[in-house]
Structure 1
Amino acid sequence: MQKTVYFIEGDGIGKEVWAAARPVLTAAIEKAYGKERSLEFEELLAGEKAFNETGEYLPQDTLTALQNAELAIKGPLMTPVGKGFRSLNVTMRQTLDLYACIRPIRYYDGIVSPVKRPDLVDMVVFRENTEDVYAGIEFESGSDEAKRLIAFFRDELGVTVDPTAGVGLKPITPNGSKRLVRKALEFAVAQGKPSVTLVHKGNIMKYTEGGFRQWGYDVASEEFAGQTTTEDAPAEGKVVVKDRIADAMFQEALIRPEQYSVLATTNLNGDYLSDALAAQVGGLGLAPGVNMSDKLAFFEATHGTAPTIAGKDMANPGSLILSGAMMLEHIGWTEAADSIHAAVSKAISEKTVTCDLASQMEGAKTIGCKAFGELVGSLL
């Protein structure tokens, strides 16, 4: 059995972490299945490498290949802050309709954490990926567009907005919300998870964030009535669907993480939460993720390009290695995935890690990006 996987190296440390991660995936598959199964990797161009070779940051050939793909994996891609083009990651997610950003967060023994019980953190965040601020429309303070919109609010809707304000809109739709929650519920039911928590700011933004909450409950009651229940009517063997206001959920994630299993949330809230949870269990260097449509699963490192350490063999390839393990789980190659998780866990417990983790551990041995990949491969 052979699967084709398209890959994008990424910018900054992307080339290094991919070079460290790819052999781990190949070795894990070979150990688990011999020559019976394999991945065929085909490179696609995006980011700086694409621009240098084609003059475009996101060539149409790349998008065309991904539109017909089942599996892909990528390193981080750079995005200018405050100027230039909008995020390539966001562009791909919207163009390919990768509406679900899924990030499992778990603790590995030996990680030094800022919280007392990081071992209780075991959550999967389902973050809506195409709406909210990712589909945000904004106009600069003092621009003609902002002035016209503010005047419309005043004259047509009777709403007062400071005339000097920069103005933004964030769309959240019933369809976008429901399909995200549906995917979270499907996962919870299939994996025997105890709960799905809808995270929102619906106490303030009642028709966007509050709409997400209500549409989530609607999906549960209309499509999963036999498999779900609510907090006020718990039933053994059913997934409990509950909701939490975003700021309260941040506190809960710190003091009662064991009470939460699957989180389904709007885009911006999910961005904060997934990173905050990752910080409790080692940081983004160990945080895997996938962006999914109904057809394509696009796995990626969740950290940035880290240009200050690019080319210095200092990066942690753990995020991309674990994203690869997540990909293997997705296609049902669980034996290979389990061996990767076990190998990463062993490397961490032995305190032989990259500098980002070593700086938090007493008595750790610091090794480079390439060496960490080789170590994980040897422990499979």
Structure 2
Amino acid sequence: MRRSLGRGARLSRPLLLLALLWLGSSRGACPCEEPALCRPVAGTPEFEVFVFDVGGKAWKFYDWSQITTVATFGKYDPELMCYAHSKGSRVVLKGDVPVKDIVDPANRTAWIIQQVDLAKKQYMDGINLDIEQEVKERSPEYYALTALVKETTDAFHSQIPGSQVTFDVAWSPACIDNRCYNYSGIADACDFLFVMSYDEQSQIWKECIARANAPYTQTLHGYDSYINISIEPKKLVMGVPWYGYDYVCQNLSKDHVCSLSPVPFRGAPCSDAAGRQVAYKSIMKQVNSSASGILWDEEQKAPYLEYKDSLGHFHQVWFDNPQSISLKAAYTTKRGLRGIGMWNGNCLDYSRNPVAEQQTEAMWQALRP
């Protein structure tokens, strides 16, 4: 439960640092066989590969030759922390808090203290702030969110040497899903932004039809937009999807146009909520039984497939594969981005099946341009 210092309380930055220093000895016993593995990971990698892990033991089969940071969005696993540190990879917390709660500086301070304390107890290397809530430009929440990022970064850097504070943003800074944040201010306040270049059909304003989860041109336009508001490319990590969307077509034309039921989202008349998210491993198992096999849309530079379900309804499944990801990954080098990452590492098939092994290896390799 989040600690509150009371709505009338105020902590200055020096008092915040004193409170954090008071927590300095709150670490528990190191869970690693080698105590040195409980030390924070130091240094800045030449190229960031940022992996989201949602729990379980799939991480044992990740390509650790590439990974620089793991954001733990599942249950805390000390074995993962120890193993990641043995590979020189950071492990960071997930950070989320209602924006209405952080307008009060005392509540912000209480939340930050709690996160630093938790990171220390778990021997972690920072925090990934995943706050995907609606915020109006120039609102109290707008300013409070920027302050939260700055204060969180200051606290972590002060208390955990070499720690990393990152913030997740939508594929474009153009108020996507009504998230009208101070993007340049937030970028300045943290180590880097993780750009979620997926769910790009969360608001469909034009024709209500199925489209790619992360269309090539639209995706790169988002990065150009961030750079055009004076955010340094080295402050941007490209996020790619290891999942897709399965849509039920109200009508599927001969030229592969899948009409969708209108499902509104944050003001838009249609959205990808008309479909369901499907992991890459599940999509690959469906290819051979599909009516179409894997098709390629040259305009969006994305693969898709079509099938008919047991009720006779046609479906269209849009996803990313090594071909589409490699095209976008090349942009990270061209524009000098800080790195690449994915949502999420658990979406691949880590079984011993030879075909699955080949597919999984290809997805990992596609991250490096």
Q: Same fold (TM over 0.5)?
A: no
TM-score by length of 1: 0.24
1 or 2 for the larger relative contact order (CA 8 Å, sep ≥6)? 1
